[in-house]
C-alpha cells in the first residue's frame, strides 16, 4: 500500500519517564522507552500489567499523569488522538456492520474528502494485498474471523499512519488461524516498513513476531530485548519465569575459591564458576531451561549435578518431560529427547540431573 524505508534508525516514539495513575494506583511507572521507525515492537506481560494503558497513551486515548511522549520527535502530550499520525487495530475488529467491505476500508478516506476514483483504486489495491479483493461487496458478517481481521488491518493502514497500534488483534481467533495471521501480519509489516506496536500476553506470539519486546509486570518494564536475548539472557526472575519454561532454583552463596562459587541450592551443594560480585550468604536464583538438563550416573566430570527422585515422566512425542524432586522437596523439570542413550530411571527411583555450568543463568533480582 505504501513504502517507507525499513530499518532506518530514525526514532518513531519516545516515552520519557511516563507515569499513569488511576486514583492512587500507578498503572504505569517510570516508563522510559525509545521505539525506532520501522520496528515491530511488542509489549508483553500478564493481564493487568499495563500494556493496553501504554498503547492508549501512545494513541492519545489516555493522557500520562506525568512524563513526556514524543512521536516523530514532536511532543504530543495533550494532542488529541485524531491529530496523531497513529492508527489502532483492536481485538474486536470494530468493522461497521451495515457497510460492505469496500466501504469499510474506504471509510477513513471518504471522511478525509479523498476523491471517489482514488478511493476505489486504493481500496482495491489494499484488499488485493491481503487477498480479499473478491469480498469487496460483502458485509463483514459474511466473513470469517480471520477475514474480518484482515479487513480491519487494511482499513487501519489505508490512511497511511506512520505507526500502527495493535491491541491483542488475534485474541478472538483459534490457534491455527492465529498462527497464520501472525505470519501474514509480520510479512505485511516487513513489506510496508511501518512501525508496528503490538500488545499481547502470549509470549510465543511475541517471540515469533517482534524485532524487540518490552516485558512488563505491575506497570514496570522488566526488560527490553530482541527475542533471542530475552530467551537466552533473561535479566531477572520475572522475565526468566515468563518467557518459555524455566526451572528457577533458589540458592545461597556458601563460599568461594578463586573464580568458583559454591551454592547451597535446593538442599544440595553445587559449585560452578561465576564472575558476579557476590558474597557468601547472598541469595540468588539459578535459572535453567528444562532442555539443558540430562540424566547422568555417578560423577559427570565438569557438569553441575542435581540428585533427587523421579516423580513423573510425561511422553510428549519427540521428548519426554521428567519431574525430579530435590532434597528440599522442590521440583525441577527436564525435557529429554526420546531415543537417546541417557540412563533414564523409572518414576519413584533416585536419579541425577545435570547440566553444563554455562547453561545456568544466575539471577540476583
Contact with ligand ATP (CB under 6 A): which of 12, 13, 15, 27?
27
Contact with ligand ATP (CB under 6 A): which of 22, 92, 174, 337?
22
Q: Which is nearer to ligand ATP, 223 or 285 (CB)?
A: 223
Classify burial at 82, counting beta carbons within 10 Å of its beta carbon; exposed 0-12, middle 13-18, buried 19 or more.
Answer: exposed
Q: Which is nearer to ligand ATP, 22 or 96 (CB)?
A: 22
Q: Which is nearer to ligand ATP, 20 or 294 (CB)?
A: 20
In the complex, minimum distance from the CB of residue 206 to ligand ATP, in angstroms, rounded to a whole number: 13
Tell me which residue of 297, 289, 291 sits closest to 338, measured CA to CA: 291
- Asked whether the beta carbons of 323 and 312 are under 8 A apart, the reply is yes
The sign of the torsion formed by the CA atoms of 329, 332, 336, 340 equals: negative
In the complex, minimum distance from the CB of residue 244 to ligand ATP, in angstroms, rounded to a whole number: 19
The footprint of ligand ATP on residues 29-58 (CB under 6 A) is 45, 47-53
Written as nine digits, the cell of 173 is 481467533
Applying CB under 6 A, the site for ligand ATP has a residue count of 11
- Asked whether the beta carbons of 253 and 284 are under 8 A apart, the reply is yes
Determine the Cα–Cα distance for residues 303 and 357; give it in Å rounded to an integer. Answer: 6
In the complex, minimum distance from the CB of residue 128 to ligand ATP, in angstroms, rounded to a whole number: 33
In the complex, minimum distance from the CB of residue 47 to ligand ATP, in angstroms, rounded to a whole number: 3
- Asked whether the beta carbons of 15 and 63 are under 8 A apart, the reply is no
Written as nine digits, the cell of 15 is 516515552
Q: Which is nearer to ligand ATP, 159 or 217 (CB)?
A: 217
In the complex, minimum distance from the CB of residue 183 to ligand ATP, in angstroms, rounded to a whole number: 23
> What one-character-per-residue DSSP string does 210-254 give?
-SEEEEEETTEEEEEE-HHHHHHS--SHHHHHHSS--EEEEEEEE
Q: Which is nearer to ligand ATP, 36 or 201 (CB)?
A: 201
Side by side, the strands of the sheet bearing 212-217 are: 86-89, 163-167, 195-200, 40-44, 212-217, 220-225
Q: Which is nearer to ligand ATP, 217 or 333 (CB)?
A: 217
Q: Which is nearer to ligand ATP, 56 or 122 (CB)?
A: 56
- Asked whether the beta carbons of 50 and 219 are under 8 A apart, the reply is yes
> What one-character-per-residue DSSP string does 92-123 give?
S----TTS-HHHHHHHHHHHTT--HHHHHHHH
In the complex, minimum distance from the CB of residue 257 to ligand ATP, in angstroms, rounded to a whole number: 46
DSSP, res 301:
T
The footprint of ligand ATP on residues 177-206 (CB under 6 A) is 201
The footprint of ligand ATP on residues 50-109 (CB under 6 A) is 50-53
In the complex, minimum distance from the CB of residue 26 to ligand ATP, in angstroms, rounded to a whole number: 9
Q: Which is nearer to ligand ATP, 25 or 315 (CB)?
A: 25
In the complex, minimum distance from the CB of residue 216 to ligand ATP, in angstroms, rounded to a whole number: 7
Per DSSP, what are the bridge partners of residue 225?
213
Q: Where do contacts with ligand ATP occur on this chain (CB under 6 A)?
A: 22, 27, 45, 47-53, 201
Amino acid at each position: 500500500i505504501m513504502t517507507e524505508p525499513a530499518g532506518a534508525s530514525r526514532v518513531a516514539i519516545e516515552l520519557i519517564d511516563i507515569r499513569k495513575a488511576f486514583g492512587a494506583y500507578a498503572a504505569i511507572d517510570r516508563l522510559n522507552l525509545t521505539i525506532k521507525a520501522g520496528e515491530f515492537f511488542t509489549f508483553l506481560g500478564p493481564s493487568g500489567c499495563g500494556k493496553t494503558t501504554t498503547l492508549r497513551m501512545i494513541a492519545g486515548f489516555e493522557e500520562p499523569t506525568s512524563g513526556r511522549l514524543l512521536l516523530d520527535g514532536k511532543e504530543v502530550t495533550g494532542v488529541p488522538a485524531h491529530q496523531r499520525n497513529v492508527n489502532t487495530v483492536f481485538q474486536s475488529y470494530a468493522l461497521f456492520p451495515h457497510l460492505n467491505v469496500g466501504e469499510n476500508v474506504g471509510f477513513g478516506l471518504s471522511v478525509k474528502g479523498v476523491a471517489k476514483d482514488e478511493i476505489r483504486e486504493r481500496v482495491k489495491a489494499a484488499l488485493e494485498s491481503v487477498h480479499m479483493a473478491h469480498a469487496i461487496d460483502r458485509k463483514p458478517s459474511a466473513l470469517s474471523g480471520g477475514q474480518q481481521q484482515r479487513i480491519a488491518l487494511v482499513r487501519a493502514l489505508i490512511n497511511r499512519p506512520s505507526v500502527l497500534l495493535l491491541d491483542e488483534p488475534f485474541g478472538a481467533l483459534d490457534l491455527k488461524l492465529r498462527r497464520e495471521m501472525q505470519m501474514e501480519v509480520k510479512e505485511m509489516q516487513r513489506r510496508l516498513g511501518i512501525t508496528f506496536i503490538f500488545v499481547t500476553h502470549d509470549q510465543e506470539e511475541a517471540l515469533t513476531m517482534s524485532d524487540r519486546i518490552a516485558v512488563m509486570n505491575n506497570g514496570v518494564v522488566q526488560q527490553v530485548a530482541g527475542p533471542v536475548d530475552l530467551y537466552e539472557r533473561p535479566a531477572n526472575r520475572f522475565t526468566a519465569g515468563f518467557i518459555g519454561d524455566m526451572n528457577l532454583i533458589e540458592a545461597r552463596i556458601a563460599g568461594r575459591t578463586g573464580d568458583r562459587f559454591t551454592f547451597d541450592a535446593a538442599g544440595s551443594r553445587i559449585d560452578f564458576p561465576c564472575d558476579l560480585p557476590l558474597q557468601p550468604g547472598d541469595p540468588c536464583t539459578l535459572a535453567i531451561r528444562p532442555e539443558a538438563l540430562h540424566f547422568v550416573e555417578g560423577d559427570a566430570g565438569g557438569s553441575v549435578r542435581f540428585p533427587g527422585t523421579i516423580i513423573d515422566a510425561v511422553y510428549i512425542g519427540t521428548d519426554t518431560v521428567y519431574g525430579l524432586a530435590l532434597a528440599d522437596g522442590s521440583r525441577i523439570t527436564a525435557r529429554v529427547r526420546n531415543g537417546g542413550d541417557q540412563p533414564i530411571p523409572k518414576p519413584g527411583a533416585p536419579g541425577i540431573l545435570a547440566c553444563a555450568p554455562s547453561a545456568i543463568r544466575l539471577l540476583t533480582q
